[in-house]
Amino acid sequence: MTERLEAISGSMFSGKTRELMRLVERQKIAGINTQIFKPIIDDRWGRLQKVRSHSSQEMDATPVKDSRELLTKIDPKTKFIAIDEVQFFDGGITKAIDELLDRNIKVLVAGLPLDFRGEPFGSMPILLAKADNIIKVTAICTQSLPNDGICGGEATRTQRLVNGQPANYNDPIVLIGASENYAARCPSHHIVPGKPK
């Protein structure tokens, strides 16, 4: 990674965390001191000290409650920081990342660019605009079709489900979950009842 700020962007189930771990592993092989951070609210797997992909790969991580706490946890020897689920951090995360870059620490972020409503999510759009490089990953649209198959198209959206039905636009933005609450959808099959036109 020659970029100072790199971002991995994609819907749920697109492999963002797996890609983050792959890039972190490369830094470690190169002998570069690395740290991984994640928001403390991401407790989907019951292991707060890990980041975990949907394919069950894991790597040690430090959970933090906000951007200020993240800055207090930086080891002086660290030269590479990875932040998973960056969209869940407070608005101060962009300034915290600027500070890390000013210290000549390379930063890799992974997150959802859009919330379940299909609207910009947290600080991710700002970080995408500032990134030196963006890795866009997609999932497979799993919308059922009448012929008992699935769409199979490029899923760039995250569909929240409530009792198997699309969540309403006015539902809370943040709901931590996995396949029990979310599905990958292409733009054609992403539905948000109640969304203003």
35 and 10 both lie in a single domain:
yes
Residues of the chain with pLDDT under 70: 1-3, 43-48, 50-56, 176-179
Pseudo-torsion of CA 140, 141, 143, 148, nearest 10°? -50
pLDDT score recorded for residue 47: 54
Catalytic residue among 85, 119, 154, 180: 85
pLDDT score recorded for residue 176: 66
pLDDT tens digit sequence for 15-27: 999 999 999 999 9
What is the domain range of residue 185?
140-189
Please report, as a single letter, which amino acid is at residue 179.
Answer: S
Contact 155/13 with Cβ under 8 angstroms?
Answer: yes
Contact 54/178 with Cβ under 8 angstroms?
Answer: yes
User: How many domains does the chain fold into?
Assistant: 2
Q: Among 137, 163, 180, identify where a domain stops.
A: 137
| 85 counts as catalytic | yes
Read off the CATH number of the domain in which 68 is found.
Answer: 3.40.50.300
pLDDT score recorded for residue 66: 96
